[in-house]
Structure 1
Amino acid sequence: MRFFIPLLPLAIVACTQTPEMETALPDAPAESPKAAETDPNLWLEEVEGEKALEWVRAQNEGSLAELQADPRYAKYEAAALDVLTSDARIPYGTVRDGMVYNFWQDDVNVRGLWRRTTLESYATDAPDWETVVDFDKLAADEGRNWVYTGANCLREKGKPVRHCLVSLSDGGKDAVINREFDLETKTFVEDGFVTPEAKQGISWVDPDTLLIASDWGEGTVTASGYPFIVKRWKRGTPLSEAEEVIRGTKDHVGVWPSVMELEDGRVLQGAVKSETFFTHSFWWLPEGEAEPVRWPIPLKSSPEGIYKGQFLLSLEEDWAPEGQHTAFRTGDLVAFDVKAFLETRALPEVSLVFRPNAAQAVNGVAVAKGAALLSINDNVASRVLRLEPGADGWTTGALELPGTGQAGIVFADEHEETVFLTYQDFLTPDSLLGYDIASGEVSTVKSLPGKFDASGLEVEQFFAVSKDGTKVPYFIVHKTGMKLDGSTPTLLYGYGGFQVSMNPGYSPVTGRLWLEQGGAYVLANIRGGGEFGPAWHQAGLKLNRQRVYDDFIAVGEDLIARKVTSPAHLGIMGGSNGGLLMGVMLNQRPDLWNAVVVQVPLLDMMRYHLLLAGASWVDEYGSPDVPEERAFLETISPYQNFDASRPYPEPFFVTSTKDDRVHPGHARKMAKLFEDAGLPFLYYENIDGGHSAAANQTERAKRTALEFTYLSERLFEAK
């Protein structure tokens, strides 16, 4: 089962792996006459405007001159580059027909290689890799700034995988083009499928048919900039002649194609209508019928796959199926007979598969050939369970993992018996684990040596008490025997949104540039995330969002109360939605921190819904067009709450010109307020990087070196 759901703001976390994925066209900022009259900095929203870019270059020049003059910068950049481009990385990949496909970047292959090797060779210490596409060469040959963003390959039961749609982004934007590629000849298919640049979603139906959602011209994208019309495109015909099969409205977030493969090999065509960011209706497009059929499942639910004829579904809301005796809770995993629905088009009896307890949350399900696996959070750490239906209901069995850190299912596919897991924690580097479906055993396929000196470090978990009495967990990584005298330079990271969990993870960059230097690192599991399931997320939505900020403040205050650190030595960092968190912290508690790294942020919450993909997030933040929600947003919006008379800590704003998800105007305008007020700030805008603010590992090393140089100056040298 393959569904495409629009992108959400992502946290920038140094240890995050980059999977193969589809991403999606930058929009110009919407006009707002009222805002034009009241906002003197609206010109900074002109992404490629000459005046705006002149200002950006001036800020970059000043900040780079200051930070790169610090002798630590060169050391940090070299250390980050060494880690990020080291061959001592696990080459995570996708298995197709006994071959492991991997995307690899290093100091030589800056844009990266798409390559493959056999499963047997992959298990060795030195796999024999065969290059499929050299993206540095492709970009040079075509004179384009190509960034590889994933491959969508046609799967047919009993047939080898040959044709893929390769996604290429200009400079790292969410907008992509898709070009058909032949894995056998290792060439792009002459006269094959090629799409124009757009935020788009594509699903293979068969070798000669695609379902595609794209920008079809004026009036065919939503206020969020995503498509709402899905068409069926036949090989050999121009895209303009593709047949419309389903549409939504401009008020939707977007509409996306999907396909569902049954266990007998039949492919069901379908679509997902994202009415809001958190509600989706799923549709079946029966062949030969004009009207789509809606799947009878809640709007707040996520299909997880089909296993042994059972359609698996995770719930983000309570559900009492009509005419049935069993009611289900938010966070449950449930199932029903898929063939029974297809035959009757009525909802069959629904059964409970797994119910998490108060400290648990369902992360997702992966279906392999012969097994279904469930990933869960358990008190913020990870567990993986095997699921099996039986006459008396579903049973679960836990897989044996190396520890209580972050574990995940990195590869499982209904066509393949190979299953790969991954494990890491704050002090343990990544391990790639293999799961044997027949024996149930977990074995280590690859493991990495330590990339920073973890000797003398330890990890503790504490709970801070938020303003409303809620206990909020956080992890702290620190030197054993750390003096509790408030002197430890401490970096606190947070996100708190979109049901994204912040789990224990190994970050060699943070390890080398911060922990080895004597700093402590703290990860806050605040509400708005998914650490304890949908309810933990929903507790911080819209008018309740102050809870997220209260949680983060509570963690900061708890660190100070425990005498781990003090305001002079406490710094904070967050990206995207976490960048909004940083902006709020600047305004609400400038006394609590001495350094604030604001990465690719949302900051103008009165206009965020008019910029790029912002309209898709109104169900997270609330809408400035709804009076009650606007009134609340006015109380927390960092841009509108800036006060030139306040003693702010010197912030560091980081963004990207090419980010077509979170508009760079947010960071630009906030920094301009500091400039106009004569207050100190630092600013760096990568001209090429997308939402990660770095299009390649070299730029990523530069960005992180700048950030940690700034943090070191502010927190290690504080009096």
Structure 2
Amino acid sequence: MKSFSAQTFAKRMMSKFIYPAVRRDESHVDVLHGVPVKDPFRHLEDPDAAETKAFVEAQNALFQSFIKESPVRAKLETRLTKMFNYERYGVPFKKGSSYYYFHNSGLQPQSVLYTQKSIDSEASVFFDPNKLSEDGTVSLGSYKFSESGNLFAYALSASGSDWVKIHVKQVGAEKDLEDKPLEWAKFTSMTFTHDEKGFFYNRYPTPSVSQDKAGTETDSSVNQMVYYHRIGTDQSEDLLIYSDPENPTRMFGVSVSDCGRYLILNVSESCDPKNLVYVADLEAQFGCNSCLGVPKFSPIVSEWEAEFSWIATEGTVIFFETTLNAPKKRIVKYDIANPSLGFVEVVAETENPLDFNNVVDKNKLVLVYLKDVKHVMKVYNLTTGAFLNDIDMPSGSIIKGMSGTKKDSEMFYSYASFVSPGVIRRYDFSSPSDSLFRETTVSGFDSSIFEVKQDFYASEDGTKIPMYIIHKKTTVLNGQNPTLLYAYGGFNISILPAFSVSWLTFVEKFNGVVAVANIRGGAEYGQEWYNAGRLFKKQNCFTDFQYAAKYLISANYTNPRKIVINGGSNGGLLVGACLNQAPELFGLGVAEVGVMDLLRFHKFTIGSAWTSDYGNPDVKEDFEYAVKISPLHNVPTEGPYPAVLIITGDHDDRVVPLHSMKLAATMQHNLAHSANPIMMRINTKAGHGAGKSMQQVIEEASDKYTYISIVLDAPYVE
């Protein structure tokens, strides 16, 4: 028997959808490299225009009217609220003589930072972001303690924007040390000098938008600068440490070495994992571990050859993780006192890519590798590179967090999986011993009903692609199961197993299947895997994703009518491109905060950094490739097309909402004949994803999966 929602949808499919009216300017044509390119909805690029605001309101109203008749919506919100209501703990870390950890009691809008004097003593609230706003949409973006642990710098984001305001407080004090926060910081590192008189941070020139509208502007984010802020002085007195006005799109990161002597500057051109490295000797220049003027930097890496990430220092020797002559990464050292030696290998590249590292207990180098999208943890001697021991974890687990410093003999680490919300363990190098510290449980959740497996399928060119598949053990492979297929495929980012309340609810309550494809473009197999899915090889990502759907169909998990493809950001682009290229493979596409206009993405906020993956549309050869795959420019005007849901946030200043709005308007115009709905959901007071309150998370998931339930005709199982 069909559910009420399915009956409603069946009736609606018998007539065309009537979409909100929006002005279409056919005369707006750009000529790019001699090619005329229409952009009839260019006016939607202005977020403050009255017709843009009207468009947003009308799209949200249409979407809500579509899902409100389904009884699934209320059931989902009740179930998701119950499932999300479990205690979540972050990995403990030590600063000074105290321990800290993040904790959420279950449904708190934001997690709270707690402190305790010893690992066994009673904890107290150190910082509670929930007191900063009534609706929980002000979040802690990043933070940094001083070396002694006496000072705490913290950056606050409003409504999910990348813009943050930086505050400073004395540990133990109620109020901030300064009356005014530092403004217009974005993508900022924060690091204190060891005299604790101030800290380094990144900011941009003051934009044209006012603070109350920060996050809604579309202006390009260029000319980032590194400043030193001396505590107790006005921001106008901050010392400019580094800028590069001749290369306005470059970005910077600074770190003070663990010994406090060196200031290490990273320079990046884009999201391409290659960077320059400069170092300043604060002690030699100023006679102390402080910043008394503009530091003098000397180059360590002056060519765009590879990626270098600072790890630790020992005297004049600096240790790096790098892809230099090692696409799967290795550990090297560089002696500032003997630069002619160059980079000396400490730990060689292995067959498995190095994912991340940590240095604990003076000279214990903990390296975490990816082996077929599963973590393996090993310990080496930092100085000699000698292998010391393995640290075992349950098969299929993924490290979610790790803490510990050279001064600590203990390390805390957490791991999770698709069906385990998380385990925190304490590793004591002085013993050595590895003991359970805390295990997260979810009331009413039974992991034993789920099956998780990893399959490898062949893409079009024969490349084997790993894919995790989750379903109930009782699921019958009859080709009729509603299936959510997820991937990302870009920017050297690996998509690793994670505990997702929403995914597990879909599996349990809709008898669904969740498939996570580790397509090319990520870092799952190192630099070569990434290179095989970017620039003129970007099509490999889309092809890999389409072949994932073909595999699920051939293996009798599902059929095209029952497949929803889902992805966010670069994954939103993935969904948009695949809907255009292979509409016959899918029943629905849910594209979240996606990059949809590959001809203009570089003109807004931080978009210029993405030329590493998408090419530069101002270059003729890059344009000719991008125009063939850009979701906005390849929406068909005839033939069957899947249902679509486009999700964005009004404060997304990473991938600005205009991408999603222009695509939605284009799809609704070109595909007005389609019986399948094309809808849009615009989150208010939300950005690219980070910083959402728990209530926002639950509401969005409830709306999204209600829509999926209706379109895929997937009844809710009581």
- TM (norm. structure 2) is 0.85
- Say whether 1:624 aligns with 2:617: yes
- Say whether 1:697 aligns with 2:683: no
Alignment-mate amino acid for residue 171 of structure 1? S
1:65-89 residue CA offsets vs partner (Å, 9 max, x unmatched):
22233111112122222333x2432
TM superposition shift of 1:267: 2.9
Task: Tell me: CA distance 1:529–1:200, structure 2 relative to 1, closer, same or farther (3 Å).
Answer: closer
Task: Tell me: CA distance 1:304–1:516, structure 2 relative to 1, closer, same or farther (3 Å).
Answer: farther
SS of match in other structure, 1:430 = strand
Is the Cα–Cα contact under 8 Å of residues 307 and 367 in structure 1 kept in the other structure? no
- Say whether 1:301 aligns with 2:301: no
Gaps of 5+ in 1: 1-30, 123-127, 319-328
Aligned equivalent of 2:205, options 206, 216, 221: 216
Task: Tell me: CA distance 1:683–1:96, structure 2 relative to 1, closer, same or farther (3 Å).
Answer: same
CA distance in 1, matches of 2:191, 2:549: 45
TM superposition shift of 1:335: 1.8
1:304-356 residue CA offsets vs partner (Å, 9 max, x unmatched):
412656533233342xxxxxxxxxx22231222x5x32x24444451240322
Is the Cα–Cα contact under 8 Å of residues 597 and 653 in structure 1 kept in the other structure? yes
Task: Tell me: CA distance 1:93–1:684, structure 2 relative to 1, closer, same or farther (3 Å).
Answer: farther
Task: Tell me: CA distance 1:226–1:87, structure 2 relative to 1, closer, same or farther (3 Å).
Answer: farther
CA distance in 1, matches of 2:654, 2:418: 30
TM superposition shift of 1:41: 0.9
TM superposition shift of 1:106: 5.4
Question: In structure 1, what is the equivalent of residue 435 of structure 2?
Answer: 443
Q: Which moved more, 1:642-651 or 1:543-552?
A: 642-651
TM superposition shift of 1:622: 0.6
Q: Which moved more, 1:430-439 or 1:613-622?
A: 430-439
- Say whether 1:172 aligns with 2:160: yes
Alignment-mate amino acid for residue 398 of structure 2? Q
Q: Which moved more, 1:572-581 or 1:54-63?
A: 54-63
1:196-245 residue CA offsets vs partner (Å, 9 max, x unmatched):
133252332242232233123479xx995154332333344433333333
SS of match in other structure, 1:110 = coil
Question: In structure 2, what is the equivalent of residue 274 of structure 1?
Answer: 268
SS of match in other structure, 1:506 = coil
Q: How does 1:465-614 map to 2 (within 5 A)?
A: 465-480=458-473, 482-614=475-607
Alignment-mate amino acid for residue 124 of structure 2? E
Is the Cα–Cα contact under 8 Å of residues 405 and 503 in structure 1 kept in the other structure? no
1:439-486 residue CA offsets vs partner (Å, 9 max, x unmatched):
343221111225533333212211111111111111111233533321
Alignment-mate amino acid for residue 312 of structure 2? I
CA distance in 2, matches of 1:492, 1:602: 19
Aligned equivalent of 2:183, options 172, 175, 196: 196
Question: In structure 2, what is the equivalent of residue 285 of structure 1?
Answer: 280
Alignment-mate amino acid for residue 240 of structure 2? E
Query: Equivalent pairs: percent with the same residue?
Result: 24
Task: Tell me: CA distance 1:414–1:470, structure 2 relative to 1, closer, same or farther (3 Å).
Answer: same
CA distance in 1, matches of 2:31, 2:169: 48
SS of match in other structure, 1:244 = strand
Q: Which moved more, 1:198-207 or 1:571-580?
A: 198-207
CA distance in 2, matches of 1:302, 1:348: 14
Q: How does 1:149-188 map to 2 (within 5 A)?
A: 149-155=141-147, 159=148, 161-188=149-176
Is the Cα–Cα contact under 8 Å of residues 476 and 521 in structure 1 kept in the other structure? yes
Task: Tell me: CA distance 1:283–1:651, structure 2 relative to 1, closer, same or farther (3 Å).
Answer: same
SS of match in other structure, 1:187 = coil
Alignment-mate amino acid for residue 476 of structure 2? K
CA distance in 1, matches of 2:382, 2:157: 42
Is the Cα–Cα contact under 8 Å of residues 224 and 253 in structure 1 kept in the other structure? no
Question: In structure 2, what is the equivalent of residue 95 of structure 1?
Answer: 94
CA distance in 2, matches of 1:211, 1:531: 33
Task: Tell me: CA distance 1:237–1:473, structure 2 relative to 1, closer, same or farther (3 Å).
Answer: same
Alignment-mate amino acid for residue 181 of structure 1? K
Task: Tell me: CA distance 1:398–1:308, structure 2 relative to 1, closer, same or farther (3 Å).
Answer: farther
Alignment-mate amino acid for residue 196 of structure 1? E
TM superposition shift of 1:634: 0.7
1:490-533 residue CA offsets vs partner (Å, 9 max, x unmatched):
11110001111112222222112333431111110100011111
Task: Tell me: CA distance 1:489–1:464, structure 2 relative to 1, closer, same or farther (3 Å).
Answer: same
Gaps of 5+ in 2: 1-27, 209-217, 286-293
Task: Tell me: CA distance 1:390–1:305, structure 2 relative to 1, closer, same or farther (3 Å).
Answer: closer
Question: In structure 1, what is the equivalent of residue 39 of structure 2?
Answer: 39
SS of match in other structure, 1:710 = helix
Q: How does 1:73-472 map to 2 (within 5 A)?
A: 73-84=73-84, 86-105=85-104, 109-121=108-120, 128-139=122-133, 146-155=138-147, 159=148, 161-191=149-179, 194-199=181-186, 201=188, 202-205=190-193, 206-217=195-206, 225-249=221-245, 251-262=247-258, 265-278=259-272, 279-287=274-282, 288=285, 291-296=296-301, 299=304, 300-306=306-312, 311-318=318-325, 329-336=326-333, 338=334, 340-341=335-336, 343-348=337-342, 350-357=344-351, 360-370=352-362, 371-389=364-382, 393-450=385-442, 452-472=445-465
SS of match in other structure, 2:281 = coil
SS of match in other structure, 2:655 = coil
Is the Cα–Cα contact under 8 Å of residues 405 and 505 in structure 1 kept in the other structure? no
TM superposition shift of 1:250: 5.4
SS of match in other structure, 1:272 = strand
Q: Which moved more, 1:72-81 or 1:98-107?
A: 98-107
Is the Cα–Cα contact under 8 Å of residues 654 and 693 in structure 1 kept in the other structure? no
Question: In structure 2, what is the equivalent of residue 22 of structure 1?
Answer: none
Q: Which moved more, 1:49-58 or 1:90-99?
A: 90-99
Question: In structure 2, what is the equivalent of residue 26 of structure 1?
Answer: none
SS of match in other structure, 2:696 = helix
Task: Tell me: CA distance 1:525–1:660, structure 2 relative to 1, closer, same or farther (3 Å).
Answer: same
Question: In structure 1, what is the equivalent of residue 63 of structure 2?
Answer: 63
Alignment-mate amino acid for residue 355 of structure 1? E
TM superposition shift of 1:715: 2.4
SS of match in other structure, 1:176 = strand
Is the Cα–Cα contact under 8 Å of residues 252 and 275 in structure 1 kept in the other structure? no
Task: Tell me: CA distance 1:349–1:145, structure 2 relative to 1, closer, same or farther (3 Å).
Answer: closer
TM superposition shift of 1:49: 2.8
Question: In structure 1, what is the equivalent of residue 211 of structure 2?
Answer: none
CA distance in 2, matches of 1:200, 1:378: 30
CA distance in 2, matches of 1:93, 1:64: 41
RMSD: 2.8
Is the Cα–Cα contact under 8 Å of residues 388 and 395 in structure 1 kept in the other structure? yes
